[in-house]
Amino acid sequence: MTVIRSTACIGALALFAAAAAHAEDAPAAAPADASPFAYSGYVDASYTNLSGLGVFTSGAADRVFDTKKSGFALQQAAINVGYQPKTGFGAFLNLTAGNDADVISPYSIYGKSHKFDVTQAYVQYATGSLTVIAGKYVTLAGAEVIASPSNPNFSRSILFGFAIPFTHTGLRATYAASDTVNLIVGVNNGWDDLKDTNTSKTLEVGATYAPTKTFSLAASGYFGKERIGYMTDQGPEGQRSLLDIVATWNATDALTVILNYDWGQQKDVTDGVSTPFDAKWSGLAGYLNYTISDKWKASLRAEYLDDTDGYRTGVAQKWKEVTATLAYLPCKPLELRLEGRADSSDSANFVKSAAGDVSSSQNSVSVQALYKF
């Protein structure tokens, strides 16, 4: 069995190494002792069978990245390059290619099929307990992230795609107040913007508290005027606020429990006809991540989003989902995942076919392969 497993692993690695060779952002691996200079990357490929068309009746996507009804996809091919010394100047660059790159693209690029995104690009300066970065960087909010290997499931959560932003462009300062507390403050161009779409800036604040090795708490907030419409630099604007809380408990060496809460509000929403109102959304996600052995992992996620006014999804609804994922690691660089997911809404908002059939539920089965280098 050992020989068979090793042969399968070598064959799989050869396949993904070939795929990586065709990705324009995939150089050779860096030496392990290259700190403070380091680079890494991964290739994320998948096959998904989705029971619907991947859109709501509003026309908005009802999944984050895996919107393809059925078939194979290169989700992401990413490379990270950084020079980040503990003291002095440094820089970090994160490039993403593949289908997901078009989803996370900022305003002025979003909606165009480039299959490439400069996800993060910033310079930094560190001195003592203070680190300051300037450029484009990922959001503080959320339990999940853009980088596929850092998430326990294949599909992204509802909250990741519909409650919070992906990236920001601006200035962020992080201060290590103690061994257990980090404080963060920043000013940026808003949600998923390179160039601000109005004359106002968005304030970000955050804090992390890790009193023990088994428990941590992270809270972040975003406050600033944003355009009412999505990805536009015209039309009315109003104050947008977001509160995000993530609690992580390592219950045992094998079991991790995560809770993520989001609350958001967009003021002065209007369609140009009705009286402006304040749109609100809120949601909660829970995760049980369990390491079965060195080669097997399992994850269960359950969550809901209350899009009270339909501002984030285009339809007023309470949207729920449950996801179960089983992961197998035949060798360290390679991870294979099998996922089943069931979504439901309190109204028939999922478009099932081109004929316009709708349903209050949607299911999917996915297989994902991650090759990390």
pLDDT tens sequence across 175-190: 999 999 999 999 999 9
Range of the domain at 363: 2-372
Number of domains in the chain: 1
75 band by pLDDT with thresholds 50, 70 and 90: very high
Query: In this model, does residue 241 exceed pLDDT 60?
Result: yes
CB burial string 40-76: b at 16+ within 10 A, e below: ebbbbbbebebbbbbbbbeeebbbbbbbbeeeebbbb
Q: Calculate what percentage of the chain has a pLDDT beyond 90.
A: 82
12 band by pLDDT with thresholds 50, 70 and 90: very low
35 band by pLDDT with thresholds 50, 70 and 90: confident
Residue 18 sits in a domain whose CATH number is 2.40.160.10
Q: What is the 3-state secondary structure (H, E, C) of the chain?
A: CHHHHHHHHHHHHHHHHHHHHCCCCCCCCCCCCCCCEEEEEEEEEEEEEECCCCEECCCCECCCCCCCCEEEEEEEEEEEEEECCCCEEEEEEEEEECHHHHHHCCCCCCCCCCCEEEEEEEEEEEECCEEEEEEEEECCCCCCCCCHHHCCCCCCCHHHHHCCCCEEEEEEEEEECCCCEEEEEEEECCCCCCCCCCCCCEEEEEEEECCCCCEEEEEEEEEEEEECCCCCCCCCEEEEEEEEEEEEEECCCCEEEEEEEEEEEEEEECCCCCCCEEEEEEEEEEEEEEECCCCEEEEEEEEEEEECCCCCCCCCEEEEEEEEEEEEEEECCEEEEEEEEEEEECCCCEECCCCCCEECEEEEEEEEEEEEC
Give mean pLDDT, residues 112-117: 89
22 band by pLDDT with thresholds 50, 70 and 90: very low
Q: Would the pTM of this model clear 0.75, i.e. be above it?
A: yes
**Tokens at 245, concatenated:** 């809380």
Query: In this model, does residue 21 exceed pLDDT 60?
Result: no
CB 363 within 8 A of CB 345: no
**pLDDT at residue 83 in the model:** 98
Query: In this model, does residue 3 exceed pLDDT 60?
Result: no
Query: In this model, does residue 235 exceed pLDDT 90?
Result: no
82 or 25, which is more confident? 82
